[in-house]
Structure 1
Amino acid sequence: MGKGFFISKTVGILGIIAGVGALATIIALSVVYSQEKGKNNNQNEEQTTSKPPTTTPIPSNKPWDKYRLPKNLVPETYNVTLWPRLTPDPTTGLYTFLGSSVVDFECVEDTDLILIHSNKLNYTEFENQLARLMSVSSVEAPAIKSSWLQGVTQYLVLELDGTLKKGHKYRLYTEFIGELADDLGGFYRMYIVVMATTQMQPTDARKSFPCFDEPAMKAYFFITLIHDRGTTALSNGKDIETTEINHDGQDLLKTVFERTEKMSTYLLAFIVSDYDSIGNSIDGVEIRIFARRSAIAAGQGQYALNKTGPILKFFEQYYNATYPLPKSDQIAIPDFNAGAMENWGLITYRETALLYDEAFSSNSNKEKIATIIAHELAHMWFGNLVTLRWWNDLWLNEGFASYVEYLGANNAEPEWNVTDLIVLGDIHRVFAIDALASSHPLSSKEEDIQTPAQISELFDAISYSKGASVLRMLSDFLTEDVFQLGLRAADSSKLELPDTLDNIMNTWVLQMGFPVVTINTGTGSVSQQHFLLDPEAVVTTPSPFNYQWIIPIKWMMTGNMQNPLWLTSKSETSEAMKATQDQWVLANVNMVGYYRVNYDDDNWAKLLDVLQSNHQLIPRINRAQILDDAFNLARAKIISTVQALNTTKYLSNERDYIPWKAALNNLDFFYLMFDRSEVYGPMQDYLVKKVSPLFEYYKQMTDNSSKVPDGHMDQYNQVNAISLACRTGLEECQNLVMTWFQEWMDTDTNRIHPNLRSTVYCNAIAAGGKKEWDFAWSQFIKNDSTAIESDKLRYALSCTKQPWLLNRYLEYTLDPDMIRKQDATATIVDIASNVVGQSLAWDFVRARWSYIFSQYGGGSFSFSNLVNGVTKRFSTEFELQQLKQFKADNSDVGFGSGTLALDQSIERTIANIKWVEENKENVLDWFTTEANAQ
C-alpha cells in the first residue's frame, strides 16, 4: 500500500487522454486504494501539570522559519481525542477544548528536528518539554532537548538530543488546550446554537491539534470525541460506539469513530451538536442530513436527502469508481464562512446551501442547493481520493468540481437545463477578473505560494470559475464522452488536434488572461491578442507563451454550423470565413471557448440586424455572448461604446433569461459609473422602454403577477422583469411591490412568492422609510428557523435610501448578536452596492479596518469580496487617491487574503476613470436620443 496518490503539476491534466499525462491515470489507479479498516491504537498517557508554553525568539534562516514542512517525516496515523467545552470557563469566560494526540510517523531521512504544525494551542509539559517522543521500531527514540512554539510559521518545534533514523517509525504524544472561539476557523463554536464544529481548509487543522498540515501529508485518523449528554458527535468515520463516562464529577458521553481512509488534514471534520437528522441508504451507503431540530421538523432537509443519492450515483458512473465510504453525512451549519466544505464523509454547508423550504425558498435557492451538493460530492473522488500535492494547483480541485457541479445538478433536475448557466455563473464572472493586468495564471509556482494568506488568496474566481471554464472548453473540443473516458484513463490518442493536449492546455493554464479573437469576414483574417480591460495597463507577469494561445474556434455561417478551426498563431487566414454580402459569421458557438470575439464593422452590423429582425436565429447563449463581448470590447477601446449600446436595442423583443441577465450584468457597470451623474435620468428613461414589454409579457403569463411561470428560466426572467421595471421607475411595478409589502405589514401574513421576495423586499424598502425598514428588521430578528428567508431580508435591509438607517445597519455588522459573523462582510458589500450607502460603507471600512481585519481578514475566503465590493463604484481621481492612501495607511495592519483584491481595485479604478472621461458625453447623448426615439 502506497502513501496516497497526488496531482503534481497542472500540465498533467490532459496528456492523460493522449496517454502522456498523469491526472486520469492517477484517478484510475486510485480506484484500487485499500479499504482495509484499521484498529484503534489509542494510548493512555500520564498527564503532568499544565503550564502556558513560552515562545522562543526565532533564529534567522532556520528550518522553522520556513512555511513548508521538510520532507524527512511522513505521518501514518493520528489518534486524537478532543473534549469541546460548550459552556464558558467561570474564571476566564473563555470557551475551550481539551485534547490529546498521538501521531505515528516514519522517518525517511535522518534528522535531529521535528517540525509539526500548531497554531493557537497551549501544551501540557512533560519534564519541561511540550511533547513526548517514543519509538515504535527497534531503535530507541532520542530525548527532546528543547521545544517551543514558533508563532509566525505556526510550528511546534522539537529539537532532539540525537537523531531519528531513516526507515524507522516513531510516536509523538501531546496534550493541549485550545480556545473554542467563534472565529469560524479550525475547531470553533456557534455564537448562538449549541454546537462545536470545524473548518480546516486550507490551514486550520493545526488550530485543532498538532499535525503535518499539508495536503500531501496524508494519514489515517482515529477520532474520539468527549461531549455533553444530550448532544451527538459526528466525524468523517462512522461512530463505533458511544459510552457514558464520568470525568471530574461530570457525566459525559464518549464517542469513538472508525478509522478514516488515508486523507489530508484539511478534510478532517468533527462536530458536536444537539441536532436532529433524517436519512436513507442507497446501495449500502448511509445518507444522512443533519440540521437544527426545528429545520428537520419543518422538512427542510428533505430536498437535499432526495437529491444526494442520485447525484452520488451519477458521480460513481461518471468516475467509474464506487463511492469509497460507508456513509455520506451532510450538515447545515448556522455560522459558516465558506459556502460548503467537502470533508470526506461529513460535508458541512451553510444552512442556505443545504436546507430547502417550499414556503420560503425560491427556485434559485433550490438550484443553489442542487449545484452545491453536486460540487461537494464531486470532491469525494476528485480532491479527497485524489488530492493536489500543494495549494498552487488548487484550480484542478476546485475548477473541476465547479465544472461537473453543473453535470451533477443537471442529472438531478434535468428539466432545468442548468448546464447553460455556467456562462453567466462562471465564464462572464471570471472574465472580469482575468481581463486585469493583476490577474494570475491558473497554476502558480509552488515556491510562490507559502503563507496561509497566500493560500487563501487562491480561493478566488480564477481557481473556481476559470478552472471550470477551461475544463468545459476542453470537454467540448474533445467531446464530453472522450473527456469522461479520460478520467478513466482511456487512450484516445487518435484525436485530430493541432498539437499535443499538453501543449494546447499549457497555453491556458500556465499564463494568465485570455485572448480576444478578431475575425475579418471580408479578408478571412483571424487573429488573437491578449484581452485587457485597460489596454494601457502594464503587464508585469511574464508569460512562457508571450500571451499567445492555441484556440479552438467553433463557428457558424448565417446560422449553419461549420467545421471547427484552430488558431495556433497570432494571425492566420481562413478562406472559409470570408462572407458574402448576405452572409454573417458567428464564432464561439454556445460560448464553449474561453475567449472573446470581435468582428469587422460589416459583420457587427449584420449581427445587429439579425438581432433586430429575427434574434432567435442566433443561439440564446450567443445572444448573451454578443452583449457581453460588445460591452467589454468597448471598455477595452476595441469597439465604440455606442456600438455596444446598440446591442441592447433588440431587448424589447427578447424573452429568454440568459441574454437578459447578460445585458443587466453589463448595464450594472453603467449604473455604477453614472448613477451619481446627469447620465442617470436618460439611462433610466431608455431602460424602462426596454423592460416594459418584458414586464407586460410576464404580467400576462402570470395572471397579473398572481403566480409564477412554470419554466425554471422563465421564473428567473420574471424576477429580472420586476427588478428592472421597479429600478427604472415603472409606476405599475412600484405600486405592485408596495402593495404586496404593505399587505404583509398590515396582516402579518406574507403572500409574496419566494421567487420574488428579494426584489420585492428591496424595492419596497427603497421606496419606503423607517417604518418599512423597522418592519423588515423585526422579521429578520424573529426569524430563527429559516436561514434562506433571513438572507433575503438581510440583503433587502441594505436597499433603503435613508443614510442614517444604513449607518445604523453598518454598525450592526460589528455585533454578532445582530448580524452573524459569516454574514458581516457580505452585508457591508450589500450596503456599498446601494448608491446611497457606497460612501458610507467605504468610510466605515476605512475607520474600522484594524478591527474588521482582525475579525474577518486573515484566512477569510470572502475577504477579497469585501475589498472589491466597497470600491467597485470608484471612478474619480479623488477616490483613487483615497484608495492608494488606504493601502499606505494600513500597510502595517495588512490586507491578508484581500491583498490581491486591493491591487485589482486600484487597477480597476484607474480604468474606470479613463473610461468615464472618454465616454460620458457620448453615452449621455446616446441614452437621450434613444429614450426620446419612437
Structure 2
Amino acid sequence: MFYISKAVAVIAVVAAVGAVATIIALSVVYAQEKAKNEVTAPSTTGPPATTGSPATTGLPATTTPSIPKEPWKRYRLPDSLAPISYNVTLWPRLEPNKGGLYIFTGHSVVVFTCVKETDLIIIHSNKLNLTRFQDHLAKLSGLDGATVPSVSNSWLEEPTQYLVVQLSSKLQAGKSYELYTEFVGELADDLGGFYRSEYMEDRVKKVVATTQMQPTDARKAFPCFDEPAMKAIFHMTLIHPVGTVALANAMNYEPTNVTIEGQTVTRTSFEPTKIMSTYLLAFVVCEFTFIRTPPGADVLVINPLIWARRKAIEEGQGDYALNKTGPILTFFEKYYNSPYPLEKSDQIALPDFSAGAMENWGLITYRETALLYNPDMSSNGDKEWVATVISHELAHMWFGNLVTMKWWNDLWLNEGFATYVSYLGANSAEPDWNIKDLIVLNEVHGVMAVDALASSHPLSSKEEDIQKPEQISELFDSITYSKGAAVLRMLSEFITEAVFSRGLSYPSITLSLFKWSSFQAVNATTPSLGLPESVEDIMNRWILQMGFPVVTIDTKTGRVSQKHFLLDPDSVVERPSPYSYEWFVPITWAKADGVEQQYWLLKKEDTNTKMTIGTGEWLLANINMTGFYRVNYDSENWERLLTKLSSQHQDIPVINRAQIIDDAFNLARAKAVSTILALKTTKYLFREVEYMPWQTASRNLDYFFLMFDRSEVYGPMQAYIKKQITPLFNYFKELTLNWTKIPDGHTDQYNQVNAISMACSTGVEGCEELTTGWFRAWMKDPTNNLINANLRSTVYCSAIAAGGVDEWDFAWSMYKNATIASEADKLMYALSCTKQPWLLNRYLEYCLDPEMIRKQDATSTIVYIASNAIGQPLAWDFIRANWNHLFNDYGGGSFSFGRLINGVTKRFSTEFEYKQLQQFKEDHVEGGFGSATMALEQALERTKANINWVSLNKEQVLAWFTNETASPVY
C-alpha cells in the first residue's frame, strides 16, 4: 500500500547473495522458523454448551494473566485450523433499499484442514449479519469421509471480530472440512472492506462497489481467516446489475445474465487465484471502461489494463499510467530475476479511496490522483506521484504478494522495500528526472524528524505487541515506509546496488515465503563481503531499536563518536534497546580533494586520524546522505563548510548542501549546535538555484514560522527570507521569459514553485500582482484557465489569501465542478489559504458532510486549515468539539487519524497549548484514540520540546534576523 503522505565496486556475487540474504532471512524474520507468538497458541477448551452468548467462567487457567483464557477473546487466531480455499459469492446492491441503506448479500464456503484436534472453529467476521441454520450461524461439512461433529453453539464475538463455532466433539487432525455461511452486510461509504464509492457523470450519480481489505477488513466482506500468513485459494463470483462490469484478482470467465429474486442480473465468476493472503483480495463492480496497449504492439511483460471513469479514460487521463506500467514491470522482472507472477495486471482509479493505492494482486486500486494524469491540467509533481506510486505497487506484485510477511509486526519490510525500489522503478521509466536523489527529500529528511522523538518505535516490533486492528493500523506510518526505505537504501549503498539486487535474484532462490530461510544456508558457505560485522549484526541495530545516531567528528584530533539523536535531549527514552542505542555506522567521507572514503564506526567512540584536516581544508561526511544518521563537526570545520558554501557552493554535492542545512537545523533544535549556526547555513542561498537545498531550507524555516508567526520575530524573519528569495524569483522570471515557458529540468520546475510561493508569502515586489492577475483572469473566463499546472497550487493559494469571499466562492465552485482529481486537490488545498476566519470555519464544517468534502479528503482538509496561522486554533477547536463524531463515523482504525493529530498540533509551543493537549487526552481516555494513540504521545513530546526551544531561542533569533535584514543586500 502507498501511504498518504512523497548512487553507488562490484563484489563477488555469491558473497553478495549471502549478505543480503542474512538481513532478509534473519533480521527481517521472513523465515518460517521464527517461534510463534504464544498468544496464538490454541486452546481446545470450549465454553459451556449453552445457547446464546457464551459464558466466560469455568475454564482452567492455562495461560498467563495477561493473555485471556478463552481463545475467542484473543486477537490472534489459534493455529489449530489452516484454510485451503474459499468459494465466495457476493451481490452488491448499487441502489439503496427502502430503509435508505446500500447492502450486499453473499454466501461463502471455506475449506480448511484441521492441524490440531479442536472443538472450536474461530474465524473472523465483522459487521456481517449472519443467517442462522437451525439456530446456528454456520453449517459444517466433512470432506473425504471426515466425521463431522454437530454444532453445539455459535456466536459473534464482537470485540475480537470473530465468528465462534463450538462443536460437540473434536475435529480430527489431518482431515479437511468446509464451513458454509450466508450473510448480509452494509455497502457503506466507510472506505473499508466491501464499500461503496460515488461520483457524478452527466449529472447522474453513479455507485461503485469496491474494496480495501488491508489490513483487517476482508472480514467485513465475508467470514475468513483474516491473517496474512493464512493464505488460501479464492474462487470469487459477483452478481451485479446488467450493464456493469465486475473485476477481481483473477481472470474472469464469460459473464452470463441470470434471473435471481425476480431480477435479471449478470453473474461473473473468476478463475481461482494463486495462494494468497486475504488482505490482498479485491473486487469491483462499476460502469468504468479501460484502455490497453493496442493489439500487435510490443508488449514485453503482459498487456496491462487501466480502468477509470468513462470520461476520464476518454480524456486520455489513463494514457501516462499505461505507457509507464509496461517499462516498470519489465524493470522489476529483471530486478527480481523472476517473471511477473500473474496472467493479468489491472489497475483501477477510484473516486473514493482511503490510502494512495493498494497492491491487491492482479487488481491494484488507486486514488484517482495516484493513477490518472492529464498533461494539460496535471503538474510535474502529479506526474511524479503517478510514476512512483505505480512503481511502488508493482514492486509489491513480487515482494509482499508472492513473498508475504507472517505477521504485521514486520510490515516495514513490505512497505520499506517497496518505497525504496519505487524510486528505482520510476527512474527506469523516467531516466531524465534523476529521481533517485529525491528519496532524500521525500523520505529521509522527513522521517528523521519523527524518529528523533523519544516516542518513536523500531522498524520491527514484537508480535505480542501488535495484536488489535488499531495497533496494526498504527504501523502504517512514516517509520514503516520512509525509514524502512532509508535503511534499505543504506544497505544497498554499502554492499552496492548491484549486489543488493543480485542477492534478491539468486538463481536457486525462488521468491516464495518458504524459501527465504535458504538464504542463510547460502550465506554460511560463502566468503565474507569484507564488512566489519555480518550484515545481520549490522542491520539488526537499525531494525530492532528505534532512532538513529548523530555522528560527531573532530577534524583536529580525528575523534569520532556516536550518540542517540533526540530532538529534545531532555526527553526520557523509556523504550529499552537490545543494543543500548549504539549502531554500526557506515561513514562515507571526503576532504576538499573530493576523494570518497569509507569508515565503520562500531562503538560509541573511536579515533580515525585520516579524518584530521589541515589549515584551509574542510571535511564532509555522509556523502550524498546515503547513511541514516546526522553529522556534527567541530566548530572550525563548520565554519569552513559555511565559507565554502558562501564562496563556491557547487564544490559540495547538491544533496550534501541540503544535508548541511537539514543537519544544522536539527542539531540546533537538539542543542548540539547553536541556532545561529543553523541560520547561517541559509545565508548563501541567494546564490543557490538548485531545488534540494532550497526545499530543505524552506522546510526547516517553516518550523521557525510555526514557532514565531504569532510573535514579534515574524516581521524580521519575513524580511530576511524576502531578501534571500528575491534573486531566485528573478532567476526564474528570466529563465521562463517572464513566466511564459516551463523550465526544462524536473527539479527546476519544482524550484520555480518554491520561488513564487516564498516570494509571494514574503512580499517580493510583483509576486502578488502576478498571481492575483492570473487568478482574476481565470475568474473572468472560468472555461479558460491559463495558469500553468505546475504553478496552480501556489497561485491559487496566494490569490485566495490576498482576496476575500469572491475568490473563495469561485475556487469552491471550481472545486465542486472539477472532473480531474489532481485539479480538485489543488483547489482543496488553496481554499485553506484564506485569511477570513469565517470562511475557514465554514470550510471546517464542510468536512463533516461527505457531500461537500469526501471522507477520504477530510483529514487532509483539516490539516491544511491547521497549517494556516489563522486556521490553526479554529481547527483545534473543531477537532475537540467533533472528536467523537470523527472518531466513530470515520473510523478509529483509519490510517489518517495519526496524521490528523500531528497536523493540528504541530504549531503548539506554549504551556497553555500543552495543557489543552493533556486535557484532550484525559477527556477521551476511555474511548481511546485508535490509530492516533502513538501520534498523540508524539504530539505531547513535541509540544514540550517546542516550549523549551522557543524559550531558549526567541531573543537570539529575533536579534539575528533583525541584524541580517539591516545588513546590505548581497
TM-score interval, smaller chain = over 0.9
Partner deviation per Cα, 1:735-780 (whole Å, 9 max, x = no partner): 1001000111112221000000000000000000001001101111
Q: Which residue of 1 aligns with 2:501?
A: 484
Distance 1:22 1:477 in 2: 13
Aligned-pair RMSD on alpha carbons? 1.6
Distance 1:893 1:274 in 2: 40
Which secondary structure state, in structure 2, belongs to the residue aligned with residue 147 of structure 1?
A: strand
> How many angstroms does 1:58 deviate by?
5.7
Q: 2:321 aligns with which of 277, 300, 304?
A: 304
Alignment of 1:542-581 (within 5 A): 542-581=576-615
Alignment of 1:771-810 (within 5 A): 771-783=806-818, 785-810=819-844
User: Is the 1:287–1:328 contact (alpha carbons within 8 Å) kept by the matching residues of 2?
Assistant: yes
Query: What amino acid does structure 1 have at the position aligned with 2:170?
Result: T
| TM-score with structure 2 setting the length | 0.91
Distance 1:58 1:717, change over 3 A: farther
Query: What amino acid does structure 1 have at the position aligned with 2:85?
Result: T
1:384 pairs with 2:405: no
Which secondary structure state, in structure 2, belongs to the residue aligned with residue 685 of structure 1?
A: helix
1:102 pairs with 2:109: yes
Q: 2:219 aligns with which of 200, 206, 212?
A: 206
> How many angstroms does 1:320 deviate by?
0.3
Which secondary structure state, in structure 2, belongs to the residue aligned with residue 708 of structure 1?
A: coil
User: Is the 2:16–2:503 contact (alpha carbons within 8 Å) kept by the matching residues of 1?
Assistant: no
Q: Which residue of 2 aligns with 1:76?
A: 84
User: Is the 1:284–1:326 contact (alpha carbons within 8 Å) kept by the matching residues of 2?
Assistant: no
Which secondary structure state, in structure 2, belongs to the residue aligned with residue 560 of structure 1?
A: coil
Distance 1:836 1:139 in 2: 69
Distance 1:561 1:830 in 2: 45
Distance 1:240 1:858 in 2: 39
Distance 2:840 2:198 in 1: 24
Q: Which residue of 2 aligns with 1:46?
A: none
Q: Which residue of 1 aligns with 2:419?
A: 402
1:920 pairs with 2:933: no
Q: 1:642 aligns with which of 650, 657, 676?
A: 676
Q: Which residue of 2 aligns with 1:182?
A: 189
Q: Which residue of 2 aligns with 1:929?
A: 963
Alignment of 1:360-379 (within 5 A): 360-379=377-396
Q: 1:224 aligns with which of 231, 237, 257?
A: 237
User: Is the 1:116–1:212 contact (alpha carbons within 8 Å) kept by the matching residues of 2?
Assistant: yes
Distance 1:489 1:913 in 2: 53
Partner deviation per Cα, 1:647-697 (whole Å, 9 max, x = no partner): 000000001001110000100100100011000000000000000000000
> How many angstroms does 1:137 deviate by?
2.6
Distance 2:436 2:648 in 1: 25
Distance 1:284 1:309 in 2: 7
Runs of 5+ consecutive residues of structure 1 not aligned to the other structure: 1-13, 31-52
Distance 1:191 1:283 in 2: 35
User: Is the 2:193–2:218 contact (alpha carbons within 8 Å) kept by the matching residues of 1?
Assistant: yes
Distance 1:586 1:810 in 2: 47
Query: What amino acid does structure 2 have at the position aligned with 1:222?
Result: H
Query: What amino acid does structure 2 have at the position aligned with 1:277?
Result: F
Distance 2:371 2:540 in 1: 36
Alignment of 1:582-601 (within 5 A): 582-601=616-635
Q: Which residue of 2 aligns with 1:870?
A: 904
1:469 pairs with 2:477: no
Query: What amino acid does structure 1 have at the position aligned with 2:197?
Result: M
User: Is the 1:642–1:923 contact (alpha carbons within 8 Å) kept by the matching residues of 2?
Assistant: yes
Distance 1:910 1:559, change over 3 A: farther
Q: 1:63 aligns with which of 41, 66, 71?
A: 71
User: Is the 2:242–2:266 contact (alpha carbons within 8 Å) kept by the matching residues of 1?
Assistant: yes
User: Is the 2:301–2:329 contact (alpha carbons within 8 Å) kept by the matching residues of 1?
Assistant: no
1:196 pairs with 2:209: yes
Query: What amino acid does structure 2 have at the position aligned with 1:789?
Result: E
Q: Which residue of 1 aligns with 2:794?
A: 759
Q: 2:337 aligns with which of 316, 320, 324?
A: 320
Q: Which residue of 2 aligns with 1:812?
A: 846
User: Is the 2:423–2:436 contact (alpha carbons within 8 Å) kept by the matching residues of 1?
Assistant: yes
Q: Which residue of 2 aligns with 1:291?
A: 308
Distance 1:489 1:566 in 2: 28
Which secondary structure state, in structure 2, belongs to the residue aligned with residue 322 of structure 1?
A: coil
1:539 pairs with 2:582: no
User: Is the 1:15–1:501 contact (alpha carbons within 8 Å) kept by the matching residues of 2?
Assistant: no
Distance 2:255 2:697 in 1: 57
Q: Which residue of 1 aligns with 2:19?
A: 18
User: Is the 1:26–1:386 contact (alpha carbons within 8 Å) kept by the matching residues of 2?
Assistant: no
User: Is the 1:342–1:379 contact (alpha carbons within 8 Å) kept by the matching residues of 2?
Assistant: yes
Distance 2:289 2:183 in 1: 31
Which secondary structure state, in structure 2, belongs to the residue aligned with residue 194 of structure 1?
A: strand
Distance 2:69 2:892 in 1: 24
Q: 2:460 aligns with which of 443, 449, 460?
A: 443
Distance 1:286 1:55, change over 3 A: farther
Query: What amino acid does structure 2 have at the position aligned with 1:160?
Result: L
Partner deviation per Cα, 1:45-102 (whole Å, 9 max, x = no partner): xxxxxxxx96556666300000000001000000000000111111x21110001001
Distance 1:159 1:203 in 2: 24
Distance 1:114 1:630, change over 3 A: same
Q: Which residue of 2 aligns with 1:36?
A: none
Distance 1:358 1:633 in 2: 42
Q: Which residue of 2 aligns with 1:277?
A: 290
Q: Which residue of 2 aligns with 1:125?
A: 132
Distance 1:126 1:849 in 2: 41
Partner deviation per Cα, 1:596-644 (whole Å, 9 max, x = no partner): 0000000000000000000000000000000000000000000000010
Distance 2:166 2:135 in 1: 13
User: Is the 1:95–1:179 contact (alpha carbons within 8 Å) kept by the matching residues of 2?
Assistant: yes
Q: Which residue of 2 aligns with 1:242?
A: 255
Q: Which residue of 1 aligns with 2:651?
A: 617
Query: What amino acid does structure 2 have at the position aligned with 1:583?
Result: E
Which one is further off, 401-410 or 493-502? 493-502
Distance 2:23 2:641 in 1: 43
Distance 1:26 1:635, change over 3 A: closer
Q: Which residue of 1 aligns with 2:12?
A: none
> How many angstroms does 1:494 deviate by?
3.1
User: Is the 1:191–1:816 contact (alpha carbons within 8 Å) kept by the matching residues of 2?
Assistant: no
Distance 2:949 2:312 in 1: 49
Query: What amino acid does structure 1 have at the position aligned with 2:680?
Result: N
User: Is the 1:25–1:489 contact (alpha carbons within 8 Å) kept by the matching residues of 2?
Assistant: no
Q: Which residue of 2 aligns with 1:750?
A: 785
Q: Which residue of 1 aligns with 2:270?
A: 257
Distance 1:791 1:743 in 2: 21
Which secondary structure state, in structure 2, belongs to the residue aligned with residue 209 of structure 1?
A: coil
User: Is the 2:566–2:670 contact (alpha carbons within 8 Å) kept by the matching residues of 1?
Assistant: yes
> How many angstroms does 1:139 deviate by?
2.3
Which secondary structure state, in structure 1, belongs to the residue aligned with residue 254 of structure 2?
A: strand
Which secondary structure state, in structure 2, belongs to the residue aligned with residue 290 of structure 1?
A: strand
| TM-score with structure 1 setting the length | 0.95
1:770 pairs with 2:801: no
Q: 1:267 aligns with which of 261, 275, 280?
A: 280
Distance 1:637 1:26 in 2: 34
Partner deviation per Cα, 1:421-471 (whole Å, 9 max, x = no partner): 000110001001000000000000000000000000000000000000000
1:711 pairs with 2:745: yes
Query: What amino acid does structure 2 have at the position aligned with 1:394?
Result: L
Aligned residues: 896
1:678 pairs with 2:712: yes
Which secondary structure state, in structure 2, belongs to the residue aligned with residue 791 of structure 1?
A: helix
> How many angstroms does 1:553 deviate by?
0.5
User: Is the 2:21–2:503 contact (alpha carbons within 8 Å) kept by the matching residues of 1?
Assistant: no
> How many angstroms does 1:894 deviate by?
1.6
> How many angstroms does 1:22 deviate by?
7.3
> How many angstroms does 1:234 deviate by?
0.1
Distance 1:904 1:132, change over 3 A: same
> How many angstroms does 1:563 deviate by?
2.4
1:882 pairs with 2:934: no
Q: Which residue of 2 aligns with 1:44?
A: none
